[in-house]
């Protein structure tokens, strides 16, 4: 080709530096620019989010997702080694949520054909298996439970999530909220469950997720938070905030933000005066922000999380919420 073209006048372009650029080089540069443009369109973070992980946060900091598809799950009956004395049916369920398989334990009271259902969220670092003591207690009250392992066992990294948020990517905590929303759909789809009688219970950090999910899923009749609280962003004057995106993100993961949207679902808080992890003052603050209908009960043990003394309050409020 070079010999055939050697007698023709080669077209030249002069760059700003005075260097001559050949036509093949120009074509190559143009081709590379086109590839870069196509790559930018295909892999733009916002496009990726819209395609695989849609979510939105309002100016007020309210997180939302588009309508969810009908849940697809697998179910396998397993031996109940966690409460072997019970006659409950225990199943291991698996369902897909934003590219990950979520595992959950479904506990159904014996001889139940239409049980009220509860999503049960353990505190950070607590597995679905370790929560079966409370699940069995709830079963004795007549309630089926779906207890799931959240991503990272409920642990969160807000600094990393903020980086993702600012980059237009989905924070892990948002996917964790979505996992629980999907779990509520899976619970409602079980043949032994009454889909019109559903509520959610969460301990500690699980309680925070429970409040968000109850606000985002109108089919849930109430939320019971055990040893939990909000983060206090409600007390920040937004007009004095320099980093508005950071403020919007932190608002979106704070249970306080969602309290006004909970009704008519009922908000119930059970807390210890002597909780060593989340102070009783923080519990009082979130309760004061909550709207009616609401109720709060206090115990005295110096522990964090569910205790036997909370049983009568739990039983009383579940009967009211799921009557």
**For the segment 121-145, what is each residue's pLDDT rounded down to a tens digit?**
999 999 999 999 999 999 999 999 9
For residue 210, the model assigns a pLDDT of 98
DSSP characters for 297-310? EEE--S-SS--GGG
User: Where exactly are the structural domains of the chain?
Assistant: 12-43, 55-321
Looking at residues 237-258, what average pLDDT do you find? 95
Q: Tens digits of per-residue pLDDT, 159-214?
A: 999 999 999 999 999 999 999 999 999 999 999 999 999 999 999 999 999 999 99
Q: What is the pLDDT of residue 112?
A: 80
Per-residue pLDDT tens digits for 88-99: 999 999 999 999
Please list, in sequence order, all residues whose beta carbon lies within 8 angstroms of the beta carbon of residue 35, skipping any fewer than 6 positions away. Answer: none
Token pair belonging to 226: 């055990």
The CB-side HSE value for 216 (13 A sphere, CA atoms) comes to 30
Residue 239: pLDDT band by 50, 70, 90 thresholds?
A: confident
| All residues at 6 or more sequence positions from 219 whose CB lies less than 8 Å from its CB, including other chains | 184, 188, 195, 198
- The string of DSSP letters for 49-60 reads HHHHS--EE-TT
CATH code of the domain made up of 55-321: 3.40.50.1820
């Amino acid at each position: 080709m070079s010999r055939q073209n050697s007698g023709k006048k080669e077209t030249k372009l002069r760059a700003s530096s005075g260097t001559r650029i050949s036509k093949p080089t120009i074509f190559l540069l143009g081709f590379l620019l086109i590839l870069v443009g196509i790559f930018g369109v295909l892999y733009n973070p916002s496009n990726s989010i819209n395609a695989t992980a849609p979510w939105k946060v309002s100016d007020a900091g309210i997180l939302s997702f588009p309508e969810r598809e009908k849940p697809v799950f697998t179910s396998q009956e397993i031996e109940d080694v966690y409460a072997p004395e019970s006659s409950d049916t225990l199943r291991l369920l698996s369902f897909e949520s934003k590219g990950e398989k979520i595992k959950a334990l479904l506990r159904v009271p014996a001889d139940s054909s239409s049980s009220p259902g509860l999503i049960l969220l353990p505190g950070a670092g607590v597995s679905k298996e370790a929560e079966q003591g409370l699940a069995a207690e709830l079963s004795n009250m007549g309630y089926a439970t779906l207890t799931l392992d959240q991503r990272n066992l409920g642990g969160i990294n807000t600094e990393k999530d903020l980086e993702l948020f600012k980059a237009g990517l989905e924070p892990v905590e948002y996917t964790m909220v979505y996992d629980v929303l999907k779990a509520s759909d899976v619970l409602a789809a079980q043949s032994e469950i009454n889909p019109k009688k559903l509520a959610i219970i969460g301990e500690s950090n699980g309680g925070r997720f429970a409040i968000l999910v109850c606000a985002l899923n109108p089919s849930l009749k109430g939320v019971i938070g055990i040893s939990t609280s909000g983060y206090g962003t409600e007390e920040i004057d937004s007009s004095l905030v320099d980093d508005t995106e950071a403020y919007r993100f932190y608002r979106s993961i704070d249970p306080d933000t969602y309290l006004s949207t909970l009704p008519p679902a009922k908000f119930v808080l059970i807390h210890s005066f002597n909780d060593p992890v989340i102070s009783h003052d923080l519990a009082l603050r979130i309760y004061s922000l909550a709207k009616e209908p609401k109720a709060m009960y206090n115990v005295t043990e110096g522990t964090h999380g569910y205790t036997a003394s909370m049983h009568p309050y739990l039983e009383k409020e579940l009967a009211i919420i799921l009557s």
